[in-house]
Structure 1
Amino acid sequence: MEKLPFYHALKVVENVCIGCTHCMNVCPTKAIRVKSGIADIDKYACVDCGECLKACPVNAIIVEQDDFNQIFSFKQRVALLPTVLLGQFPDGVSEVQVYEEIKDLGFTHVYEVDGAVGVLSDATKKYMHKHNQERPFISSFCPAVVRLIQVRFPGLVDNIIQLKPVIDISAQFYRKKLEDKGYTQDEIGIFYITPCAAKIASVKSPVGEEELLIDGVINMDFIYNKVLLSIKQNNKEAKKYPENIHMSRRSIEWSLTNGEASQYSGRCLAIDEIHNVIAFLDKLENEEITDVDFLELRACDRSCAGGVLSTENRFIAIERLRKRAAWYHRNKPVIMEEKEIEEYKPYLLEHISINKVEPRSILSLDSDMMIAMDKMKKIQRIMKVLPGIDCGACGAPKCKVLAEDIVQGKAKMTQCVFLQKMLTKEELITPQESFDISEGTWGKERFEKKTIKNR
């Protein structure tokens, strides 16, 4: 059956893109090509990690979000917050202020998703004990990593823990809580405030889940700017959180690097930043690394604090969150939020499993082994002709990627500028034909720039 494309939150604004190749060169899954002078993202290969967004010098790549006014379609409007949002605000802004400002925007309820950590942590320990032979266990926390494994390391999909992440557990908890108060499904709207593009994609097309648990996604930078502007304009004083509704230290640190890995026994490793993750998974797949029990893998540098929709410096955000966690640890307040979710624990555990994550390899040349081997030989022959300098002038990030595209019928040999010169020299193609090929890759406008005359 033909694979359906992932939903993607990252979009290219074509009339802004200058076809500079920055995004193409940083993409960890080689999902980007330049065609007609515009970046083109392969919907089957992209994992929504956001590296392209960070690299774009002209902001031609954006992260789509739902229309904020959509929240008013519901009587009960729940804002699910990543704890890392609290680390974005200056020290003078308290948690209760952030909560109140978000409610003033139109939400009726605010809940930090990491309040569900206790439920997931206990379920994970039981899962690892039951499936002991499937080590190393890989956390399903980061949707960009889950998709990365699907498309680039399909042999490791069985190692992904088949449990919902805290976002989905929190959504399920709050929806059930409101239903128990008499509200209908149609009256309840659950909205996640996301620090990254990958979580938008996972909400819209969840991996291993058939049910959509969240009604909409709002970018964290949008909410941050709205909240901070309101606080500054109204000169609102910081208010302290009542001492009986704090989260635990474990919950606050969950989305930071080593937040998960520190909770389990055995050899547990935490790796962040997607290129580091890829390098590690390469070694794991090649069995260069063994005897690992649990892997916490995060696509962003310093985990969610480094999300592409974060506004604060990731190191400062981490410092703030660790200070918050340390204060709670010292003062040991009553954790009312986590006690409340404990009441729903049997229900949540009953619905915590996800289906097996299916591989979606982009490296497979063909489902028929004989055809795939023949294509591999063709790639090797093409590589002997290509210059091997990975200049990107063909519109592909590397010579090997161009060779793979050629074999798959997605590109032509003549896209290589070096081969164009050779063929032109041998009079096998005309200079005009060579020019037309380059124009097809880089667009007409790039060759129509006017010369600036000296004055």
Structure 2
Amino acid sequence: MEYFHSVRLDWSRCKGCTNCIKRCPTEAIRVREGKAYIIQERCIDCGECIRVCPNHAKTAVGDSLEELSAYQYNIALPAPSFVSQFAPRASLEQTLGSLISLGFDAIFEVALAAEIVSKAARRYLDNYRGKRPLISPACPAVVGLIQVRFPSLLDQLLPLATPMDVAARLAKREGVAASGLPPEAVGTFFISPCPAKITAARQRRNGLAGPDGVIPMRDIYGDVLQNLKSAAPYPSRAGAGGYGWGHSGGEKKCIGGPHLLEVDGINQVIDVLTMIEAGYLQDIDYLEMQACPGGCVGGALMVTNPYVARMRLRELTSRIGPRPEELPEAGDSLKPYSYLPRPALRLDPDLATALEKMHQVEATDKMLPGLDCGACGAPSCRAFAEDVVRGEAQDIDCIIVLRERVRVVAEEVVELARKLPVSMARPERGNDKDEAE
């Protein structure tokens, strides 16, 4: 099955500046012939390249409000971080109401699904006796990172569906009941803070359904802002715990209990996953991991500064308080996906050949300068060595190696220029003088 990616590259905007290759956590970007390109099988759609590209050549492709016309009844699924973009301009209820003014018929808060997942996660942790720590699957960029770089940790992902998918399934059920329409006539649209969740929603694993569409938060920010003051309030059903999932530490707090750790920022996530793979942190029960700085409020498709958004979301949740009503019955909506490894980093399907290529990579890497300058178009000397062994680059694409090769050739040319055939050799000057006398 072809893997969908929401992150796309606009070559007409790309200047080949190499900023993106340094920031990609899976080394999925190269620069060739003055333009960047994405190695699709390595990309996890984390959006780091979108953040750092000064030319806006990286974009995320999602759905638009025009897609609502494909359904007779549409339900918006705003992420918990959604409201952080508009506080304190309007209340939570007004912010939700602004989505109705965009053409939606109803709203199902993903924050409500987050509370359902938190409750189920707490039950699971209380009865779990397996290998620790368990890792939250809520951030699809983290899941993708594990699939590509840390496949041995896939078994430690919490086997529960994410709040986004739980919300989509429950919203579909409620929409069918409210409208009397068949499921295929009811559309569910997630309002996404990041490209990774667009990708996750588009993938269909185990035949389990997620949202019918995903609309990037950035794309509707202006429309929501325009309708904010005039929108009729829409009642909120979620509590502070569910909305806390929108920033780092919120998931941990909502689940509750000891020995829980939150980690945010892709580099910190990589560091902690490396520790787990090495056998550390077994005293931790559960890891909340989010690739974006500050959590979903720092998503690549958000508008507000992540630190400001996190502060506003915390202030908002402090005013919401817990919801007194009972949570909806989850039923089978918590059924998880099966996450399979994505062997994007292997050098060859055949083990013996892969080992031989690994030795070649080591040898090539040793002859490189180790500067990780990026001038070759690869993010590091090690990555460049792999490209050479794969046949995707030549060693002289490294400017240092090329310069040394040119120096050696130049010295050989100079040495050759000094030499003449024996038949053309000149007599020594001293001998000429003696003969003249």
Q: Residue 94 of structure 2 contacts residue 231 of structure 2 at CA under 8 Å; is this kept in 1?
A: yes
Q: What is the distance in 2 between the residues matched to 1:39 and 1:257?
A: 32
Query: Does the 8 Å CA contact 2:100/2:106 hold for their aligned counterparts?
Result: yes
Larger Rg: 2
Provide the C-alpha distance between the structure 1 equivalents of 2:99 and 2:296, rounded to a whole number of angstroms: 20
Of the three residues 262, 265, 274, the one matched with 2:257 is 265
Cα shift readout 1:170-203 (whole Å, capped 9, x = no counterpart): 1100111122342112211111110001000000
Is 1:35 matched with 2:27?
no
Say which of 290, 306, 314 aligns to 1:314.
306
Partner of 1:188: 186
State whether residues 372 and 380 of structure 2, in contact with CA within 8 Å, keep that contact through their aligned partners in structure 1: yes
Letter in 2 for 1:274: I
Over the matched positions of the two proteins, sequence identity in percent amounts to 34
Give per-residue Cα distances to partners, 1:52-110, cap 9 Å, x unaligned. 11100111111112132111121101111012111111413122322222112111112
Contact 1:5/1:43 (CA < 8 Å) preserved in 2? no
Aligned equivalents of 1:363 and 1:426: distance in 2? 35
Q: Which amino acid aligns with 1:412?
A: Q
Q: Conserved in 2, the CA contact under 8 Å of 1:256 and 1:302?
A: yes
- Measure the CA separation in 2 of the matches of 1:282 and 1:396: 23
1:249 corresponds to which letter in structure 2? A
Which one of the candidate residues 228, 245, 250 is aligned to 2:241? 250
8 Å contact from structure 1 (residues 77, 190) kept in 2: yes
Name the SS of the counterpart of 1:270 in structure 2: strand
Aligned to 1:439: none
Name the CA distance, whole Å, in 1 between partners of 2:40 and 2:233.
46
What's the CA shift string for 1:274-328, capped at 9, x where partnerless?
0110011111111243322101000000000101111112222222222222122
Query: If the length of structure 1 is used for normalisation, what is the TM-score?
Result: 0.85
What is the distance in 2 between the residues matched to 1:134 and 1:19? 44
- The equivalences for 1:318-333 within 5 A come to 318-329=310-321
Query: Which residue is equivalent to 2:46?
Result: 49
Aligned partners of 1:94 and 1:239 also within 8 Å:
no
Q: How does 1:275-424 map to 2 (within 5 A)?
A: 275-329=267-321, 334-335=324-325, 339=326, 341-342=327-328, 345=329, 348-424=330-406
CA deviation profile, 1:336-366 (whole Å, cap 9, x unmatched): xxx3x52xx1xx3324222431111333223
Question: Conserved in 2, the CA contact under 8 Å of 1:93 and 1:238?
Answer: no
Q: Distance in 2 between matches of 1:333 and 1:413?
A: 62
The answer to whether residue 195 in structure 2 is matched with residue 197 in structure 1 is: yes
Q: Which residue in the other structure is 2:429 paired with?
A: none
From the superposition, tell whether residues 349 and 132 of structure 1 become closer, same or farther in structure 2 (CA, over 3 Å). Answer: farther
Aligned equivalent of 2:60: 63
Q: Which amino acid aligns with 2:103?
A: G
d(CA) in 1 for partners of 2:243, 2:285 = 24
Alignment of 1:91-240 (within 5 A): 91-181=88-178, 182-206=180-204, 208-231=205-228, 236=229
Contact 1:194 1:217 in 2 (8 A): yes
Deviates more, 1:25-34 or 1:245-254: 245-254
The one-letter amino acid of 2:181's match is Y
1:372-431 Cα shifts (integer Å, max 9, x gaps): 221121111112211111111111111110111112222221211222223333449xxx
Corresponding residue SS for 1:271 = strand
Unpaired runs of 5+ residues, structure 2, are 411-437
C-alpha displacement of 1:17: 0.4
8 Å contact kept, 1:83–1:114 = yes
1:37 Cα deviation from its structure 2 partner? 1.1
Change (3 A) 1:328 1:96: closer
Mapped contact 1:140–1:165 kept (Cα < 8 A): yes
CA RMSD of aligned residues (A): 2.2
Kept after mapping to 1: 8 A contact 2:165/2:209: no
1:240 positional shift: 6.5
Deviation at 1:166, TM superposition (A): 0.6
Name the CA distance, whole Å, in 1 between partners of 2:162 and 2:389: 39
1:20 to 3, 17, 20: 17
| Structure 1 match to 2:73 | 76
Q: 2: distance between equivalents of 1:420 and 1:377?
A: 22
Q: Residues 196, 333 of structure 1: CA spacing in aligned structure 2 closer, same or farther, 3 A cutoff?
A: closer
Helix, strand or coil at the partner of 2:270: helix
Map of 1:441 onto structure 2? none
The letter for the 1-side match of 2:168 is A
Give secondary structure in 1 for the equivalent of 2:250: coil
Give the unaligned 5+ runs of structure 1: 429-455
Instruction: Tell me the CA shift for residue 238 of structure 1.
Output: 8.2
User: Matches of 2:96 and 2:88 in 1, distance apart?
Assistant: 15
Counterpart CA distance in 2 for 1:5 and 1:407 is 26
Deviates more, 1:211-220 or 1:28-37: 211-220
